[in-house]
């Protein structure tokens, strides 16, 4: 037996200090980090490195203890985008560049080029609007309009204002649904093969329809010629 309970412990005169309530794997001074490898190529790695200041998280929704639900994991891209809109980034990096619509159910990008140049490098690994919009599409955000709300800054030439929406991404207490905004899963080989078979079947049906239309047109032409011949015979 070793440690404070060993025989002769008090005779050694060693002050071991108060017993720690933590085990060797529960040291509260050891920071824990987590990084979603599926998005490590999009989000800046230093934002999730040990000792780095984390993105501001939305205020948790207070619910009665009886109705408390376990916290669902939210994708880093979705959490970062929501934090940009809810603050404090919307008062610094995103003023007039990324904001909620008036009903709080859509994201307005009045100047996509300026957003990509100013905001994206602060959070993501790129400064291109095409890369950011591709991520929105991967999470099933739909482009619904290209008209900014009144008073928004005019966009640069070549990039019109853009508006996106997602059924589970909204302001005014929408934090509880963020876990539903998920990245599209890659199709399996069977799904891809099934889609290819359907496309081939559709192509075959279209080809048959085209052939039937051609034959119908030919029959109509022959019928017209026969009528014309009969009419000529009646006159003679």
User: How many CB atoms are located within 10 Å of the residue 135 CB?
Assistant: 18
- pLDDT value of residue 31: 46
| pLDDT of 118 above 60 | yes
pTM: 0.49
Q: How far is residue 127's CA from residue 113's CA, in Å, rounded to a whole number?
A: 9
Q: How far is residue 78's CA from residue 180's CA, in Å, rounded to a whole number?
A: 10
- pLDDT value of residue 32: 44
Q: How far is residue 31's CA from residue 21's CA, in Å, rounded to a whole number?
A: 18
Confidence of residue 83 (pLDDT cuts 50, 70, 90): confident
CB 109 within 8 A of CB 115: yes
State yes or no: cis peptide before 88, omega within 30 of 0: yes
CB 98 within 8 A of CB 124: no
Across 109-118, average pLDDT: 88
Secondary structure (H, E, C), the chain: CCHHHCCCHHHHCCCCCCCCCCCCCCCCCCCCCCCCHHHCCCECHHHCCCCCCCCCCCCCCCCCHHHCCCCCCCCHHHHHHHHHHHCCHHHCCCCCCCEECCCCCEEEECCHHHHHHHCHHHHECCCCHHHHHHHHHHCCCEEEECCCCCCCCCCCCCCCCEEEEECCECCCCHHHHHHHCCCCCCCCHHHHHHHHHHHHHHHHHHHHHHHHHHHHHHHHHHHHHHHHHHHHHHHC
Region of poorest pLDDT, from 60-69, 121-130, 145-154 = 145-154
Q: How far is residue 55's CA from residue 83's CA, in Å, rounded to a whole number?
A: 7
Residue predicted with more confidence, 72 or 5: 72
Confidence of residue 228 (pLDDT cuts 50, 70, 90): confident
Across 124-139, average pLDDT: 88
Residue predicted with more confidence, 211 or 84: 211
Across 59-76, average pLDDT: 66
The pLDDT tens digits for 3-50 are: 455 555 454 454 545 554 444 444 444 444 444 445 555 676 665 555
> In the numeric block, which tokens belong to residue 173?
């207490």
Instruction: Identify which of 6, 65, 58 has the alpha carbon closest to the alpha carbon of residue 177.
Output: 58
- pLDDT value of residue 25: 47
Chain mean pLDDT for the chain: 72
| pLDDT of 183 above 90 | no
> In the numeric block, which tokens belong to residue 152?
């928004």
Length of the chain: 236
Which residues contact residue 116 at a Cβ distance below 8 angstroms, ignoring those fewer than 6 apart?
126, 127, 128, 129, 132
Which residues contact residue 187 at a Cβ distance below 8 angstroms, ignoring those fewer than 6 apart?
195
């Amino acid at each position: 037996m070793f440690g404070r309970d060993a025989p002769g412990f008090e005779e050694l005169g060693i002050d071991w200090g108060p017993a720690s309530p933590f085990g060797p794997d529960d040291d509260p001074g050891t920071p824990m980090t987590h990084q979603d490898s599926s998005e490590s190529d999009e989000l800046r790695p230093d934002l999730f490195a040990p000792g780095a200041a984390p993105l501001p998280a939305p205020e948790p929704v207070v619910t009665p203890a009886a109705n408390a639900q376990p916290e669902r994991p939210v994708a880093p891209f979705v959490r970062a985008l929501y934090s940009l809109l809810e603050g404090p980034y919307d008062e610094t990096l995103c003023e007039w560049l990324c904001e909620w619509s008036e009903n709080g159910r859509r994201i307005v990008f009045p100047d996509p080029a300026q957003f990509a140049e100013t905001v994206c490098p602060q959070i993501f690994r790129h400064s291109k609007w095409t890369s950011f919009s591709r991520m929105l599409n991967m999470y099933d955000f739909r482009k619904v309009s290209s008209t900014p709300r009144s008073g928004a800054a005019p966009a640069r030439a070549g990039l019109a204002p853009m508006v996106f929406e997602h059924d589970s991404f909204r302001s005014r207490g929408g934090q509880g649904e963020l876990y539903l905004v998920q990245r599209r899963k890659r199709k399996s080989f069977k799904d891809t093969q099934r889609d290819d078979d359907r496309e081939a079947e559709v192509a075959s049906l279209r080809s048959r329809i085209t052939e039937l239309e051609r034959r119908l047109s030919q029959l109509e032409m022959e019928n017209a010629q026969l009528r014309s011949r009969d009419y000529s015979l009646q006159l003679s």
